[in-house]
Every structure is written in structure tokens, then in C-alpha cells.
Structure 1
Amino acid sequence: MNTALARRVFAEFLGTALLLAAVIGSGIAAQRLSPDDVGLQLLENSTATAAALVAIILALGPVSGAHLNPVVTLADRVFGALTTGQAAAYITAQLLGGAAGSVIANLMFSLPAVQISTTHRSSPGLWLGEVVATFGLLLVIFGVVRSRRPSAAPFAVGAYIGAAYWWTSSTSFANPAATLARTLTDSFAGIAPASTGAFLIAELIGAALAVLAIA
């Protein structure tokens, strides 16, 4: 791996780790701050995630594009912006970064480094929510970039994810790396390993439909 690609891959690892630390950390904090109000927990979790996402993309976008998400990387590969090797390196970094972010979030809140989630998320409505959430995310990203307003992308993506927490039934995971990483925390943001297969399939379907629409 050459130095330029190594820098980009490290940025993907670091950015995805920070994103998952924000998602899971704010979820744990929300549970502790508002133990009897699930709606308030979701508001706290979504607000922190959206704000962190904007900041991370602004900081790391100039290095790697701040994909932070395997379906974004796969779409970029389809459109020819990355080689197969570069895409594989990005996705590996995102998966490892997501796991690292989960562990860090757990440790920050004095929990075991790894807790396997017991939160089952399994129903046709949730799966459809993941298809829609992923489709919309890619449409926002590529639509904003192709409109020649790339500087607006961090804010558009943050706004979309913050809103999609509320208007999608699945609370918009829309990210295979995040979905897998969230199995490592038994907290508000967690998902049981048994539920991830259908979520991952739904995210890939959403991504494929988005690629067709964008093309």
C-alpha cells in the first residue's frame, strides 16, 4: 500500500471509529440521563450523532472523502472513483474502525469493552426502513456532490441522518460497518447479532437501488 492510500485508509478507520463512538456513546449517555423517556433518548442520540457526523466529514473529507460506510465506498467503486483494491482497503478500515469505536464508547462509560447486544430488531417494517434509509443517504451524498456543491455535503449528510433517526422505522443504521459494530454494545444503540443479517441485506438492496437511480 502506497503512502497516499495508507493516509486515506487511516482516515477511514479513524473517522468510522469516531462516528461509532459518537453513536454508541451518546446512546449510553441518553439512557443514563433520561432513563424513563425513550423519545428523549432518541432525540439526544440523534442530535449528537448528526453533529458529530458533520464535524468528522469536515475534518477527514479532504483526506479520504470520509465515506465512513461500506455502501458509500461500493457505490464509488461502481462509478469508477476507486479501484477494487482501494475499495477493499476502505471497507476493511471501516469495519475495524467501527469495532474500535464501539469498544472505546463502552470503556468511556465504564462498561466491559465488548458487550454483545440483546436488542432484537427484526420485522419487515424495519427491513424496509433500512432499504429506504440507505437509498436516501446515497441519493443525498451523490446528489449534493454532483450538484457541484461538495462543501455542503457534510451538512446535508448530518441533517439527513439526524432526521432519518425519526422518520425511518429502523432509526436509519444505513451503514453495514455501523450495523456490525453496534452488536458489540448492549445499550440503546445496540442490535443483536441475530438481527444483523437482514439489516445488511436491506442496506445492500437500498444501495443497489440508489446506484440505479443515481446512474
Structure 2
Amino acid sequence: MNDASPTSAAQPHLIRRLLAEFIGTGVLVAVVVGSGIAAQRLSPDDVGLQLLQNSLTTALGLSVLILMLGPVSGAHFNPVISLADWFLGRRARAGLLPRVALAYLAAQVVGGVVGTLLTSAMFEVAPSFSGNDRATVGHLVGEVVATAGLVLLIFALARTSTAAVTAAAVGAYIGAAYWFTGSTSFANPAVTIARMFTDTFAGIAPIAVLPFLMAQILGAALGIALLLALYPTATRTAGDAVIPTQPDSQH
């Protein structure tokens, strides 16, 4: 069975791609949550320093994951990126097929939750729902802005940039967005869902998850609209986000 789009039949087998998305999202969540726990323990009296440690670690970790797993799955690690890939590429037949996009989403969400549980085990913290209610107006506006910027950046870069440039740029954007958005830039539904299972520095209360998801979807729609206004031909390279997968002759 060929689960790739018609223009990308040589992509790695779907199982390998889903495994890469599962691992990548899980490790990304482990990086976010683990560095948050470590920062809280190492700098207990300085929230600003905790955020700096958390943001730098996340930016570096995300860049590494994109380079490591991008050739297999494209390194989406984010449901809004996979949905945008499908939406933008559907007419040019350059993006994910609908069933593949849904499979990516499932792998990302499950991987994220596993990443949280793994981090709890590494730091010997009992898994529990977070009590950190982030659902304020400022946080939600921040999520719209952060997600819109991320979608715009990734699909604009897919037109021309190399893998190394894209990895560095996406990592830098997420690291910066920790600071210039009121929400500290979740910008990822899978990461948002996963982070409600940790009552630590990086957690989010279950009651805030749905508003965050809605803000992220709105931000993704805004990012797509801006992309099409600025780069009308970006739909032709949607399948190359975040970075192009490498041809695989063994299926």
C-alpha cells in the first residue's frame, strides 16, 4: 500500500514515519517538561532564570530533533503542522493524504503523553494533573500569535531553505516565543495535551487545555492565511515541511 502522496511515492514507509513522529514528539515533551523540572530544582527562587533555562533547552532540543528525524517523517511533531501540510498541499497533491495526517496526529498525541510519563519516571515525580490554569485572555492571544508565526515560518522556509537552516530557525523561533508571548508559546496541541499530566513548572491544568487548543487552531488558520497572502505558490512545497523526507526504495 502506498500511503505517500502521488508526488512523494519514494517516502519512507508509513510505519517508520509514524514511529519518527511518536519518538520526536515524545522526546520534545521530555525536553520541555524535564528542563522545566530541572530548572525549578536548580533555581527555585528565580522564575526568570527558570524560564531562560527551559527556553534555551527547548530551542536546542527541537533543532536537534528536526535534524535527526526530519529525513524520516518531515519532523512535524505538531498536529497543526500536519493539518496545515494536508490543507496546503491538497490541491497541488504535495502534502499529506488525509488518512496519513490523522495517523500523524495520533502518533504525536500518544508520543507526547508517553514523553511526559517518561520524564516523570526520570525525575521521580508522580504523574498527576497540573493545577496551573493558564487560560487567561493574554495566554490565549499569545497562543494565537505563537502558532500563527510558527506555521508561517515553517511553510515559508519549506520553499527555499536547507534542513540545517530550517532546524535552527524553528528552534530559535520557539525559544524566542517563550519570551515574547504571554503563554510561553505552547503552539502545539500534542504538547499541550501531554503537559496536563505533569503538575510541575511546565504543566497546564486540564481546564485550560481546550481553550489552548482552540487558540492554536485559530492561530494555524491565521498563519495559513498570511502564508498564502505573502507566498501564493507555497502550496506547491507544502509536502517539504518541516524538512523534506529522504527517498526510500525499501517499502
Q: Matches of residues 1-215 of structure 1 in structure 2 within 5 Å?
A: 4-80=13-89, 81-112=95-126, 114-215=127-228
**Cα distance, 1:47 vs structure 2:** 0.6
Q: How many angstroms apart in 1 are the aligned matches of 2:152 and 2:160? A: 12
Residue deviations 1:52-75, cap 9 Å, x none?
000000000000000000000000
Query: Partner letter of residue 80 of structure 2?
Result: V
Tell me if structure 1 keeps the 8 A contact 2:67–2:163: no
Q: Percent identity?
A: 55
**Cα distance, 1:151 vs structure 2:** 3.4
Residue deviations 1:5-34, cap 9 Å, x none?
110010000000000000000000000000
Structure 1 residues without counterparts, runs of 5 or longer = none
**Cα distance, 1:214 vs structure 2:** 1.2
Query: Partner letter of residue 143 of structure 1?
Result: A
Tell me if structure 1 keeps the 8 A contact 2:37–2:200: yes
**Does the residue aligned with 1:110 lie in a helix, a strand or coil?**
coil
Whose radius of gyration is greater, 1 or 2? 2
**Cα distance, 1:147 vs structure 2:** 2.6
Normalized against structure 2, the TM-score is what?
Answer: 0.83
Question: How many residues in Structure 1 have an aligned counterpart in Structure 2?
Answer: 214
Tell me if structure 2 keeps the 8 A contact 1:95–1:177: yes
**Cα distance, 1:146 vs structure 2:** 1.2
Q: How many angstroms apart in 2 are the aligned matches of 1:166 and 1:122? A: 17
Q: How many angstroms apart in 1 are the aligned matches of 2:54 and 2:155? A: 26
Tell me if structure 1 keeps the 8 A contact 2:143–2:183: yes
Q: How many angstroms apart in 2 are the aligned matches of 1:204 and 1:96? A: 19
Tell me if structure 2 keeps the 8 A contact 1:144–1:150: no
**Cα distance, 1:149 vs structure 2:** 3.4
